[in-house]
Structure 1
């Protein structure tokens, strides 16, 4: 069984961090060692057997910290089981249907042979940083659209895949 899984993320206001922490928590409940860390704080991934990378979506692009992480560690990532997720839609669409990755994420997925991708609803609440975030909030379009049941189910699938992989190795 992969003994150590990194769940790393790029976030501006903490919404994606909470998703990553939930994924790591679910993996631990399945007996997989997992930790969630912000992408800028990860300097080396050699001690990790598998990686989950997530990023908030902003204007159709993955968070810069997630993009930089993938670019910086692309060689090491290519040799590990790898999953990507995005958070972002400020409505219920991510809970209602699969949302494909934005083009930049799709290109990275193709280069790195990502196991699976998911888009989860986002969260934008009072106190959010950034001009655009404040404009969205002032227009009444904020809220918390994260579906933790959906997030946990996705993490369970990852854990099951890792457990099955270790049993066939």
Structure 2
């Protein structure tokens, strides 16, 4: 079974998550290509697709949304999963409610062209230079911290679940 893992990454953290997912799928004995969204010309040669993106201002950036629009018909005919990487997955305290709603907001932004079989929101990396100065001030005033918040074990669990599902489908088909 051939799987495409495609991603849109601004600073590189999402690319690293996509590669990790690709590695886990390879361990499930799947043939995997990991490509940036803007490098993908067609998805017809793939049996399944995993699409991921960084999240900025509660949406995916243009390359990811363009990929979904350009390949919506092909994506609708095969198993698909999506993942988002951003700060909301890491928020705690009073901000936790906001974080819990973030996944639904992100999915709603592209629901007209893409309905993945599953979506997961992962915490990402936030560096001071990733934010404009006004947001830096607000972020710090709200008690925010900069750092790498990716939970590699959670990413592995999610990817391994996809790998098991696809391996089962492959042996049935």
TM-score normalised by the shorter chain: which range applies?
0.7 to 0.9
- The Cα shift of 1:109 comes to 4.8
Match of 2:110 in 1: 108
Match of 1:167 in 2: 171
Is 2:148 the counterpart of 1:150?
A: no
User: How do residues 1-169 of structure 1 correspond to structure 2 at under 5 angstroms?
Assistant: 2=1, 4-89=2-87, 92-93=90-91, 99=100, 101-106=103-108, 108-109=110-111, 112-125=114-127, 128=130, 132=132, 136=136, 139=140, 141-169=145-173
Unaligned runs of 5+ in 2: none
Q: Which has the larger radius of gyration?
A: 2
- The Cα shift of 1:132 comes to 2.7
In the alignment, the residues of structure 1 paired with residue 112 and residue 72 of structure 2 have an alpha-carbon distance, to the nearest angstrom, of: 12
In the alignment, the residues of structure 1 paired with residue 161 and residue 154 of structure 2 have an alpha-carbon distance, to the nearest angstrom, of: 11
Over aligned residues, Cα RMSD in angstroms? 2.8
In the alignment, the residues of structure 2 paired with residue 45 and residue 135 of structure 1 have an alpha-carbon distance, to the nearest angstrom, of: 37
**What secondary structure does 1:52 align onto?**
strand
Q: Confirm or deny: 8 A CA contact 1:6 1:36 kept in the other structure.
A: yes
**The structure with more helix, counted as a fraction of residues:** 2
**TM score, norm. by length of structure 1:** 0.83
Q: Confirm or deny: 8 A CA contact 2:127 2:147 kept in the other structure.
A: yes
Aligned residue pair count = 164
* Residues 103, 135 of structure 1: alpha-carbon distance in 2 compared, 3 angstrom cutoff: closer
* Residues 93, 160 of structure 1: alpha-carbon distance in 2 compared, 3 angstrom cutoff: farther
- The Cα shift of 1:125 comes to 2.8
